[in-house]
Amino acid sequence: MQNISRRGFFGGAAGATLAANLEASAVQEEASSPNHPKKQPNLIFFMPDELRADALSCYGNRVCRTPNLDRLASEGTRFAQCHIAYPVCGASRCSLLTGWPTSVHGHRSLYYFLRPQEPNLFRYLRRGGYDVFWYGKNDALASESFADSVTEWNYYPGETTPPTIHAAHNPHTKEDPLYYSFLFNEGGDRRTTQDYRNVQAAIKILERKETEKPFCIFLPLSSPHPPYSGPEGFHDLYDPSRLPALRPAGLPNKPDFHAAIRKTFRIDSLSDGQLRQIRAVYLGMVSYTDWLLGELLETIERTNHGPDTAIFVFSDHGDYAGDYGLVEKWPSGLEDPLTHIPLIARVPGGTKAHTANEIVELFDVMATSLELAGIEAQHTHFARSLMPQLSGKPGDPHRAAFAEGDTTFTNHSALSLLETSLKSTIRKPRSNKNTRKRFRAPPWCGRRITSSSCGPAVRASCTTMEKIQMNYTTYMETQ
């Protein structure tokens, strides 16, 4: 892979497309070379949708019970500071599969997916000898990209008739402010969800007797994505009154779209109790997702796949779930509840109960998986392998995470790396005592701050994302 800076890459983005067209022959030659590992590990990507890191017990949540995620963290490595490139599904997943920031090829919308001429992790794996099984939603590949990237997509062998899937319904009328809150009624039995069906399909792959060809199972699940509706036994699992305080609405120096969303969708009239109920149901959905992971982990153990299978748990972005008086996510919302996700990995021979505290990015999963598989990427990318951390070594303490946002779900924004890649994310620190540089910004942006303009006390008072933004600004100033 060519080493190149992010800034330098933009002058030669067309080269990435050419490299993608040449990758097939290179990967096939590598897979048959003497240096290619004789035994490639199986790979499982367990990907709940809209799962924020602070919802998990192993990430510090004192209410939500996630015993299976906690167990996986104790058996592998938990990455304490993993951040996404973009706060909506499609853009984040395109970044995950390519190792590219969304600005590289413009994959910024919910519906602009990876095309055949563009690289993706699953094509590398497929051409490198893997069977790739995909069970769940597609927010990543254009339809034309499936043929040479995925072996089976949502194929459920053994089903004579599709099972009855329980769908939640909005119980509120349009006149009710709760109509746009995404707070729905309780779902049905835990075994009547599409997520359960997808996990059961993955279990059947694990139970197969033939094991000579390595497999990759991708499980892009729906929960805990809104609507906020958990199955029986999970919907009302947590008491809203016993939850910690939410981040309040109307905080100073927040982007204008916060108030605009609350007003437009009338969620500004929701009470604290109703917002807490949203959070409680969301946490119940997280616990349901944890239960699904437990079903998968039990099968991995029962089928003796533990020693030859690497499992990764991560999400595409988080969810407001009542914070700031907001629900769901927003394409230019780059606060920690949206950008900070869990990343837990257990790999054969890896260190147990290790916590990597240094910043990493979601798309590092691509580089890590290719290294595990013994496959070299044939395109320029910015992902880093996490194998050092998985073996107990520290990560890069000086690394920053890069995220960007947009003002619409579907437009390809005209952001540039040198101008507004972080857009509305750079906010004031909690302390206003130190002076700082200020920049004129559109009304939906917060004020920008730089690391050089803030003293140590101010830096210490900043949130994780604010520190990342300072690092980013320092990077920009030194280019």
389 CB contacts (<8 Å, ≥6 apart)?
77, 79, 354, 356, 358, 360, 395
> Quick one: fold of 6-390?
Alkaline Phosphatase, subunit A (3.40.720)
Task: Report which of residues 450 and 28 the model is more confident about.
Answer: 28
CA 56 to chain CA centroid, nearest Å: 14
Question: Would you say residue 23 has pLDDT above 60?
Answer: no
Q: How many helices (H) and strands (E) does the chain have?
A: 13, 8
Q: pLDDT value at position 9? A: 36
The closest alpha carbon to 399, from 345, 426, 365, 361, belongs to 361
Q: What was the pLDDT predicted at 111?
A: 86
pLDDT digits (tens, 9 = 90+) for 318-354: 999 999 999 999 999 999 999 999 999 999 999 999 9
pLDDT for res 38: 53
Q: Quickly state the pLDDT bin for 409 (edges 50, 70, 90).
A: very low
Mean per-residue pLDDT, 360-369: 98
Indicate if the pLDDT at residue 117 is higher than 80: yes
Closest CA to 341 of 95, 115, 7, 111: 95
Contact between 385 and 372 under an 8 Å Cβ cutoff? The reply is no
Each residue's pLDDT tens digit, 412-424 = 332 322 222 333 3
pLDDT above 80: residue 194: yes
Q: What is the pLDDT of residues 369-399, one digit of tens each?
A: 999 999 999 999 999 999 999 999 999 999 9
- What pLDDT digit, counting tens, does each position of 136-178 carry? 999 999 999 999 999 999 999 888 888 989 888 999 999 999 9
Quickly state the pLDDT bin for 475 (edges 50, 70, 90): very low
Residue 86 has pLDDT above 50, yes or no: yes
pLDDT at 93 over 70: yes
**Distance of alpha carbon 43 from alpha carbon 299, whole angstroms:** 14
Instruction: Map out the domains of the chain as residue ranges.
Output: 6-390, 426-477
Give the predicted TM-score (pTM) of the model.
0.81
